[in-house]
Structure 1
Amino acid sequence: MRPTPADPEAWNAYLAEGNATQARKRVSADVLLRDEAGRVLLVKPTYKPGWDLPGGMAEANEAPDDAARRELKEELGLDVTLHGLLVVDWVPPHGPWDDQLAFIFDGGTLSPEEADSLSPRDNELADVAFLLHDQAARALNGRLHDRFHAAFTACSGNSSVFLHDGVTT
């Protein structure tokens, strides 16, 4: 017989059993940041090839926006206010990885002082650069290129978009 909320201890044990068997999603949380000239901030990770948007992976039970702010603080020493969600992209399983939800938030425009003081603050980043939109788009590969383009478009249109492996649904 299935427990009911009338027996809170049995009900919570039943819910916990169901929770343990449900799928878990990997979550990434990146931020689109610009300088006063409109250039986009990219970072060069040490643990994978190429350039990336600033941000990273959420920890267990961490909200995506909290993960984005935490990663910016840890890796760049930036404490930013996020100005909204630009993109959610469902990324299917690929290589050794399960599926993922990839978020991009609008980090707004950095002051000249903030932009000039940026440098990697931990061993996960090798470099930072502000690039014009077209340069940034060329520096980003595959899914991230498509996600970046969608985020940039959403930012200028004050909207958000849901992608399915980089493609608008």
Structure 2
Amino acid sequence: MSNFRIVKWDEDYRDDFIDLSLEWLVKYNVMEKKDMEMLLHPVKEIIRDGGMIFFALDGDDVIGTISMIKHSDETYEIAKLGVTEEYQGQAIGRFLIEHAIDWAKAKQASTIILYTIGILEAAVGLYESYGFKQVELDEHHYDETDMKMELVL
């Protein structure tokens, strides 16, 4: 993995963003309308309002992605974290999360939130290892989620 790097959104990665996200959304049967809006219109739904999408690359191959959705100047949401199955278990998710946290800190954010489902035990454990704590689920959650987590920076 010597050629591993993280890059910001580029239109060239649009199909990779869709494919990586669909890989786990379909696998766990958690696709909903809000997901499709983000996948089909990532600039409008994520980037235009101050968020960002990052990609993990091994050479020229896109192997993972993570999105940061801006809720306010202080709060960002981690969304659409996904690593292609071939690269799972190789700390790619960790690199993406660390990059997203560092990016939010550079933006002077005070809180990062995320919504997930309890059956994604590996993901929940990964988030907890970075200090994310489960908090009360609010009205902004996705239909298919049953858990909200928060990291105070």
Q: Same fold (TM over 0.5)?
A: no
Higher helix proportion: 2
- Comparing both chains, which one has the higher relative contact order based on Cα–Cα distances under 8 Å and sequence gaps of 6 or more? 1
TM-score, normalised by the number of residues in structure 1: 0.25
